[in-house]
Chains A and B, each alone.
Chain A
Amino acid sequence: MIYQTIEALQILANIIGSILLFLRPIITPIGEWMVGWITVGMEFLRDNYSTDYTFYIIICVILVVFGIIVNIIWPGDRKGSIFSKSIDKIEVLEDKGEVSGEKDIIDEIKRCKDCGNPIGDSEICPLCGARN
C-alpha cells in the first residue's frame, strides 16, 4: 500500500480520521437526515419512473430549451435583449419628440433680421433698433 509506505500520507490519514471521529456526533444525524430524504425521493422514482428513460429525457430537453430561451431574453451582462430593445425604441422616440418639439417652438419665435435677437410681436428690435 502506498499510504503505508509514505509517512506523510499516513499522518494525513490519521488527522482526517481524528477529525471525522470528533465530528461523528454531528455528522451521523446529518447523514441520517440525508439518507431519509434521498430514500423517499428514490422510492418515488423507483415506483413511478423506473421503466423507461422518457421522463428523464423530457426533463433534460426541457432544461436545455428553457436554458436557451432564458439566456436569449436575460443574458445577464446587459438588460434583457427583447425588453431592452423595446425600451431603447421608446427612449429614441421620446428623444425625437422632445427635439422636434423644441425646434418647432424655436422656429415660431420671431427674430430680428439683422442681429437675430428675439423681438416678439414688435416691429423694431429692442437690441439693435432695426426695423423688421
Chain B
Amino acid sequence: MGSVKNMVRGTIFTAIYVVITIVIPLATFTLLFNFVIQGLPLDFEQQDYNNVVFWIVAFGLMISGFAFFTFSSPKQSIRRAIFALIQVLVNCLYLWSYKFSGAAVISFIIVDFGVMTLNVQQMILMYMGLYFLTIVLKVYDIIDFTINRKKIRENRMKE
C-alpha cells in the first residue's frame, strides 16, 4: 500500500506544479499578450512572447517531473532530499528564464498613447536570495538524512 500512497501523493503534487509553473504563467502571459487598456491594445512583441512560453513550458515540464519523484519518495529519505535539491536548482533556472526571455523588464507600447515598462528584476533577485536559503536547507536535509539514516528507517518501519 505504501507505494500506491506515495504515487498518489506524487501525482497530486505534479498536478499542483503543472498548474503553478505552466498553466498560471501561460494564462498570465497570454492575457498580457491580448491585453487592452481603455480600448487601446498593448504592442507585446511576438518573439518575446514565444520565448517566454517556450521556457515556461520547458522548465515547467522538468519541475513537474522532479516534483513527482520528490513527493512520491518516502518522507525523510535520501532520494527525496536529493531530488528536492535538484528541483530547487531547476526552479532557479526557471525563474531566471523569465529574465533571459525579456520578462524581467517588459515594455508595452500602448498604441496612440505611449510606452509602459514593468520591471520585475528586483523581485526575481529577491526570489534568488530566498532560493539560495532553500538550497542550503536542502543540502542540510541530505546531510541530516544520511547521518540519521538508520534511525529514520527504524521509525518509519514502526509506523
Which residues from 52 to 87 on chain A have a C-beta closer than 8 Å to any C-beta of chain B? 53, 56-57, 59-64, 66-68, 70-72, 74-78, 81
Query: Is the CB of B108 closer than 8 A to any CB of chain A?
Result: no
What are the interface flags for B30-72 relative to A under an 8 Å C-beta threshold, 1 for contact and 0 otherwise? 0000000000000000000000001001110110111011001
Taking a contact as CB atoms under 8 Å apart, the answer to whether A66 and B69 are in contact is yes
Taking a contact as CB atoms under 8 Å apart, the answer to whether A34 and B157 are in contact is no
**Residues of A with C-beta under 8 A to B72:** 67-68, 71
**Residues of A with C-beta under 8 A to B107:** none
Query: Is the CB of A15 closer than 8 A to any CB of chain B?
Result: no
**Residues of B with C-beta under 8 A to A75:** 2-3, 6, 74
Taking a contact as CB atoms under 8 Å apart, the answer to whether A60 and B73 are in contact is no
A57 to B54, CA, bound (A): 12
Taking a contact as CB atoms under 8 Å apart, the answer to whether B61 and A56 are in contact is yes
**Residues of A with C-beta under 8 A to B59:** 56
Task: Say yes or no: A59-B61 contact (C-beta < 8 A), given A64-B68, A71-B72, A75-B74.
Answer: yes
A45 to B59, CA, bound (A): 11
**Nearest-CB residue, chain B, relative to A60:** B65
Query: Is the CB of B106 closer than 8 A to any CB of chain A?
Result: no
Q: How many residues of B contact A (CB 8 A)?
A: 36
**Residues of A with C-beta under 8 A to B157:** 77-78
Query: Is the CB of A50 closer than 8 A to any CB of chain B?
Result: yes
Taking a contact as CB atoms under 8 Å apart, the answer to whether A42 and B93 are in contact is yes
**Residues of B with C-beta under 8 A to A50:** 54
A34 to B133, CA, bound (A): 11
Task: Given contact pairs A46-B100, A60-B65, enumerate 4 new A-B contacts (beta carbons under 8 Å).
Answer: A30-B129, A35-B96, A64-B68, A68-B72
Query: Top 9 nearest A-B pairs by Cβ distance?
Result: A76-B74, A63-B65, A75-B2, A60-B65, A75-B3, A77-B2, A67-B69, A56-B58, A60-B61
A selection of 12 A-B contacts at a CB cut-off of 8 Å is A27-B129, A31-B125, A34-B129, A42-B97, A53-B58, A61-B65, A63-B69, A64-B14, A71-B6, A74-B74, A77-B2, A78-B157
Interface residues of B (CB under 8 A from A): 2-3, 6-7, 10, 14, 54, 57-59, 61-62, 64-66, 68-69, 72-75, 77, 79, 92-93, 96-97, 100, 125, 128-129, 131-132, 156-157, 159
